[in-house]
């Protein structure tokens, strides 16, 4: 049965990742499969598109599956921010990739109905043109100062996110470099801003999560290794 296979895949992954958090990516999976994963005690799920997340979240709401934590992991357009923030049980956004997007999230904060929304700033460690993300320390500083300077906000600067290089003949070496670069950037930010809690690192997908774990990943985003 597919339910048994999903449960087995989840069990295997959770034994591998030890203290890290598994975000089960549901991008290509029907909501029925996501419910099966929930029934196997997986509660963190990641979606790439606002519309798809909204539809799945509605089904979960209708079924009363209230332990779910939705993570938005795709590129977020400014005109989709309000709709995203209204989704029940939205837990984190892993893809805050620009100061402009952060400003829009702040502007629309009142649309968020939860108590706290965790934000990961996306850093373009691969330098690939097709990817989005902060590219310089100066850009990151502007975003950090903006969010850290706000009182009584539900938006929390929680960590950093990156993806490994895709267009390369040295896939593993490049992925490891990207992940180590992100860990170093996080350490520098923690020292510079005297942060009381360590920034969380969201990095690693089905093809490279083991490399990400070796570099200190706190959240890995895995889909095909669970649902396929």
Residue 89's pLDDT is what? 98
Number of H helices, E strands in the chain: 9, 8
Question: Strand locations in 4-162, DSSP E?
Answer: 21-25, 44-47, 69-72, 90-96, 117-122, 155-161
Q: What's the chain's average pLDDT?
A: 96
Which pLDDT band, with edges at 50, 70 and 90, does 167 fall under?
confident
Which pLDDT band, with edges at 50, 70 and 90, does 168 fall under?
confident
Residue 130's pLDDT is what? 87
Residue 1's pLDDT is what? 87
- Find, among 228, 172, 170, 227, the residue nearest to 204 by Cα: 172
**Could you tell me which residues are beta bridge partners of residue 121?**
96, 160
Distance CA(83)–CA(104), nearest Å, equals 12
With tokens 């990961």, the residue in question is 120
On the question of pLDDT at 73 being above 90, the answer is yes
**Parallel, antiparallel, or unpaired: how do β-strands 219-222 and 155-161 relate?**
unpaired
Ramachandran assignment for 211, one of left (phi > 0), alpha (psi -120 to 50 degrees), beta (any other): alpha
Express as a percent the part of the chain with pLDDT over 90.
92
Which pLDDT band, with edges at 50, 70 and 90, does 149 fall under?
very high
Residue 129's pLDDT is what? 87
> Token digits for 45?
């799920």
Question: Which string of DSSP letters, residue by residue, matches 186-217?
Answer: HHHHHHHTT-SSPPEEE---TTTHHHHHHTT-
Span 145-150, mean pLDDT?
94
Span 108-121, mean pLDDT?
97
On the question of pLDDT at 20 being above 90, the answer is yes
Which pLDDT band, with edges at 50, 70 and 90, does 226 fall under?
very high
Span 148-164, mean pLDDT?
95
Buried b or exposed e, range 43-68, using 16+ CB within 10 angstroms: bbbbbbbbebbbebbeebeeeebeeb
What count of other Cβ atoms lies within 10 Å of the Cβ of residue 218?
22
196-215 per-position pLDDT tens digit: 999 999 999 999 999 999 99
Name all domains of the chain by residue range, CATH numbers in brackets: 2-227 (3.20.20.10)
**97: helix, strand or coil:** coil
């Amino acid at each position: 049965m597919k339910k048994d296979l999903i449960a087995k895949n989840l069990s295997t992954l959770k034994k591998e990742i030890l203290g890290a958090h598994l975000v089960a990516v549901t991008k290509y999976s029907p909501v029925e499969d996501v419910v099966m994963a929930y029934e196997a005690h997986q509660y963190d799920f990641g979606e790439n598109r606002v519309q798809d997340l909204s539809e799945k979240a509605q089904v979960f709401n209708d079924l009363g599956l209230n332990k779910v934590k939705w993570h938005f992991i795709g590129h977020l357009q400014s005109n989709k921010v309000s709709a995203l923030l209204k989704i029940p049980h939205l837990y984190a956004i892993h893809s805050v990739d620009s100061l402009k997007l952060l400003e829009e999230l702040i502007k629309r904060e009142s649309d968020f109905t939860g108590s706290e929304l965790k934000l990961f700033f996306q850093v373009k460690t691969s330098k690939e043109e097709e990817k989005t993300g902060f590219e310089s320390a100066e850009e990151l500083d502007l975003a950090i100062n903006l969010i850290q300077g706000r009182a009584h906000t539900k938006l929390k600067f929680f960590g950093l996110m990156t993806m490994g290089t895709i267009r390369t003949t040295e896939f593993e070496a490049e992925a490891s470099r990207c992940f180590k670069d992100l860990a170093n950037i996080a350490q520098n930010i923690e020292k510079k801003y005297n942060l009381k809690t360590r920034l969380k690192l969201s990095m690693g997908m089905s093809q490279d999560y083991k490399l990400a774990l070796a570099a200190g990943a706190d959240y890995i985003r895995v889909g095909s290794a669970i649902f396929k």
